[in-house]
Chain A
Amino acid sequence: MTEHEQHFHDPTNVTNPEHAEHHIVSPLQYVFVYISLLIGTALTVVAANIDMGVLNPIVALGIASTKMVIVILFFMHVKYQSNLIKMTVGAGFFTFLVLITMTLSDYMSRAWGLW
């Protein structure tokens, strides 16, 4: 299909990005992802009821982050997309982290004693 459309010279390859053969994710894969997400949710609730002290928020956020990654990779197809899309997702998270960490650098180093 893609060769048919390429009737002019396109060295910068913008018209058919990376000759992306459109990969269709199967419903079975989606079912696996779905079940993993539900298990993750159950785990989060169970873990919240176990007293792990300072580890509680770490475990909760860790599970949430894992769920986020599999939603992005599979439900949102990023695993099968071009490098451009992958870099874009990365850029978004990078900027978010810059906002969080650099603002934190002010609050955590204040002498007010609240932190």
Chain B
Amino acid sequence: MDSAIANPQAEHDAAEHEHVYLPQHRHHFETEEQQREAGSFGMWLFLLTEIMFFGGMFFAYLLYRNWYYDAFVAASNTLNIGMGAANTAILITSGFFMALAVWAAEVRKKNVLVWMLVLTTVFGAAFLGVKYFEYKEKFELHHIPGAGFDVSQFINPPMDAKTGKPVGNPLPPDVAQHTQIFFFLYFAMTGMHALHMIIGIGLLFWLIARSQKGDFSAGYVAPIENFGLYWHFVDIVWLFLFPLLYLINRHPLAH
């Protein structure tokens, strides 16, 4: 029994000392359990700050969607629902693999852990890839807020080839201006989300490298676990962004 405890402790030491240049990083924790719980608690507190950070933007969205509903509907309907839904599925899959990675670390299966982390990364990168194409399309349509913003599509909506009807209600010019607020929120919220994903993917590379060395398959699970919390949080943010941004009202002509 002793060796089972001592070994992860030694592994933990070894893992810590690899990048420890702080002479003071001692065992100020009494037990491994205390350290794990403290680490997990700390990560959750950090996620609380993220909730409040995104919260400010969610409020801005709530406000302006209510003030400028028609403009938001028209703007939202220019987003590609297929890409948005696909991205949601991709990110959920990435989260699924991350959860499996935590399991693999807990049952100490090194190769499974590495593969799960790799799959998490691949799907995360795929998400960003789709986002790139979406942003590119927005750029081409002059829907990026700022000096180059173009509202002509909202004042004179183009015809839908299939139905022969306009894709949306034509908006008066002053109302059409408010679509810029939608797009600012779209870019700010998905952009901030994408930034968090990029940081996450960077961290994943580091985790994969260390997992390959066996750092996390000998009982020291905390970094994988805590990163998993971060990754799932980023996933949850997207789970709300998708319906709020893409699915405001897909029947604008009905009412």
User: Which of A17, A45, A68, A71 is close to B33, meaning CB atoms less than 8 Å apart?
Assistant: A17
B37 at interface by CB-CB < 8 Å:
yes
Q: Which of B1-50 touch A at CB < 8 Å?
A: 1-2, 4-5, 29-34, 37, 40-41, 44-45, 47-48
Number of interface residues of B (CB under 8 A): 61
Main secondary structure of the interface of B (DSSP, over half): helix
Tell me, in angstroms, the Cα distance from A92 to B50 when the chains sit together.
9
Chain A residues, CB < 8 A from B62: 100, 104
A95→B47 CA distance, assembly (Å): 13
Interchain nearest-CB distance for A97 vs B (Å) = 9
Contacts of A4 in B (CB 8 A): 1-2, 5
Contact B55 A100 (CB under 8 A): yes
- Point out the residue from B41, B89, B98 that lies within 8 Å of A88, measured CB to CB: B41
A96 to B248 Cα, complex, angstroms: 22
Instruction: Decide if B48 touches A88 in the complex (CB within 8 Å).
Output: yes
Instruction: Using CB atoms, name the residue of chain B closest to A76.
Output: B232
Q: A27-B103, A76-B229 are in contact. Are A48 and B33 (CB under 8 A)?
A: no
User: Which of B157-165, B205-213, B236-244 is near enough to bind chain A?
Assistant: B236-244
Q: Select which of A26, A44, A88 is within 8 A of B45 by beta carbon.
A: A88
Residue of A whose beta carbon sits closest to that of B246? A48
Let me know if B95 and A114 touch, CB within 8 A.
Answer: no
Name the distance in Å between A86's Cβ and chain B's nearest Cβ.
Answer: 10
Contact assessment for A100 and B58 in the assembled complex, using a CB-CB cutoff below 8 Å: yes
List of B residues within 8 angstroms of A14 by Cβ: 34
B41 touches A85 (CB 8 A): yes
Residue A109 lies at the interface, judged by CB distance under 8 Å to chain B: no
User: In whole Å, how far is A7's beta carbon from the nearest beta carbon of chain B?
Assistant: 10
8 Å CB contacts to B: which residues of A9-62?
14-17, 20, 22, 24-27, 30-31, 33-34, 37-38, 41-42, 44-45, 48-49, 51, 53, 56-57, 60-61
User: Which residues of chain B (149-207) have a CB below 8 Å from chain A?
Assistant: none
Cα distance, A115 to B34, chains bound together (Å):
50
Binary B-proximity of A88-115 (CB < 8 A = 1, otherwise 0): 1101110110011001100100000011
Q: Are B240 and A64 in contact (CB under 8 A)?
A: yes
Q: With contacts A45-B81, A56-B249, A99-B56 known, is A16 near B40, CB below 8 A?
A: no
Q: Is the CB of A48 within 8 A of B250?
A: yes
Q: Are B63 and A107 in contact (CB under 8 A)?
A: yes
B85 at the interface (CB under 8 A from A): yes
Query: In the assembly, what is the distance between CA of A26 and CA of B240, in Å?
Result: 27
B103 touches A25 (CB 8 A): yes
Other-chain residue from B89, B96, B102 in contact with A41 (beta carbon distance below 8 A):
B89
How distant is A61 from chain B, measured CB to nearest CB, in Å?
A: 7
> In the complex the two chains form, what is the Cα distance from A104 to B250 in whole Å?
26
A residues less than 8 Å from B37 (CB atoms): 17, 20, 82
Known: A56-B249, A71-B236. A99 touches B52 (CB 8 A): yes
Q: Which residues of A have CB within 8 Å of B92? A: 34, 37-38, 41
Could you show 10 A-B contacts with beta carbons less than 8 Å apart? A15-B31, A41-B92, A42-B85, A48-B81, A56-B249, A64-B243, A71-B235, A85-B44, A88-B45, A107-B66
B residues adjacent to A (C-beta < 8 A) = 1-2, 4-5, 29-34, 37, 40-41, 44-45, 47-48, 51-52, 55-56, 58-59, 62-63, 66-67, 81, 85, 88-89, 92-93, 95-96, 98-100, 102-103, 106-107, 225, 228-229, 232-233, 235-236, 239-240, 242-244, 247-251, 254-255
